[in-house]
């Protein structure tokens, strides 16, 4: 069992997988409308609600901003099979590949952007990458429950498999061959971003069809991986929604 905390994360658990929620803990004496709405959702989904003191929640979840709510539930299982996910896609798939992101806040933010931009799957290696921790779920604001997060044993081999399925694999790096907006992103696409600081690993880079960059006109040398992911996914969504076709 594990504790999930935060209004959005607990609400998402109740909506997506209420059967695995054992108890919902709500802070006593809080008149927050969001907590009342959450309590009603828990009752509707048949989850047990337990009123507890703020002090008890603080002891249960030391050092985090729990927003007065937590739930005890089964740990999520990474039951998503990438081939099954892609087989179910109608139209051209959009996949976000994260090559070794280790910061749970970055992963949570990437999942949130992925959900907003219609990504069909987020792929990451099993080694040297963060899993779906409670921090990830809270930062993702429910997206950890809606976007398939597929952890694979061999990322390079997975990129080869994506290319075999017809995906155009675009890696992102500061020293790219040209700006991201010059690439065709309205078809079947995999966007690949590297880890914090290290960037793309050599084998990952070699599997990409092209390496693109995000133009930076200010004084900073690079962008946070979750910020870069949001920019890349927005450009892909913009091209898809506008019916952009490059010649």
Which residues of the chain register pLDDT less than 70? Answer: 75-79, 243-247
Give the span between the Cα atoms of 235 and 183, in whole angstroms: 10
Q: Is the dihedral of CA 137, 143, 145, 149 positive or negative?
A: negative
Question: What local confidence, expressed as pLDDT, does residue 245 receive?
Answer: 45
Give the span between the Cα atoms of 26 and 42, in whole angstroms: 11
Question: What local confidence, expressed as pLDDT, does residue 207 receive?
Answer: 96
Structure tokens at 157: 């081999």
Question: What local confidence, expressed as pLDDT, does residue 107 receive?
Answer: 95
pTM: 0.76
97 SS3 class: strand
How do beta strands 69-73 and 21-27 pair? antiparallel
Other Cβ atoms less than 10 A from the Cβ of 175: the count is 7
- Residue ranges and CATH numbers for the domains of the chain are 2-73 (3.30.1330.30), 82-242 (3.40.1280.10)
Q: Quick one: which of 177, 199, 202 has its CA closest to 98?
A: 199
Question: What local confidence, expressed as pLDDT, does residue 98 receive?
Answer: 97
Question: What local confidence, expressed as pLDDT, does residue 76 receive?
Answer: 59
């Amino acid at each position: 069992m594990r504790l999930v905390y935060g209004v959005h994360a607990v609400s998402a658990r109740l909506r997506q997988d209420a059967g695995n929620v054992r108890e919902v803990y709500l802070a006593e004496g809080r008149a927050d409308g969001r907590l009342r709405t959450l309590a009603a959702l828990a009752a509707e989904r048949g989850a047990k609600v337990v009123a507890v003191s703020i002090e008890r929640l603080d002891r249960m979840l030391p050092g985090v901003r729990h927003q007065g709510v937590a739930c005890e539930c089964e740990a999520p299982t990474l039951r998503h099979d990438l081939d099954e996910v892609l087989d179910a896609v109608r139209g051209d798939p959009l996949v976000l590949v994260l090559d070794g992101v280790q910061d749970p806040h970055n992963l949570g933010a990437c999942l949130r952007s992925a959900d907003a931009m219609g990504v069909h799957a987020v792929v990451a290696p099993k080694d040297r990458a963060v899993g779906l921790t409670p921090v990830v779920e809270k930062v993702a604001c429910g997206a950890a429950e809606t976007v398939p997060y597929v952890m694979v044993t061999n990322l390079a081999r997975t990129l080869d498999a994506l290319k075999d399925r017809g995906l155009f694999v675009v890696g992102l790096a500061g020293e790219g061959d040209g700006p991201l907006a010059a690439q065709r992103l309205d078809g079947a696409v995999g966007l690949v971003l590297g880890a914090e600081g290290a960037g793309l690993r050599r084998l990952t880079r070699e599997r990409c069809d092209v390496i693109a960059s995000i133009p930076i006109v200010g004084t900073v040398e690079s962008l946070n991986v979750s910020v870069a992911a949001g920019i890349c996914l927005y450009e892909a969504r913009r091209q898809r929604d506008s019916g952009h076709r490059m010649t």
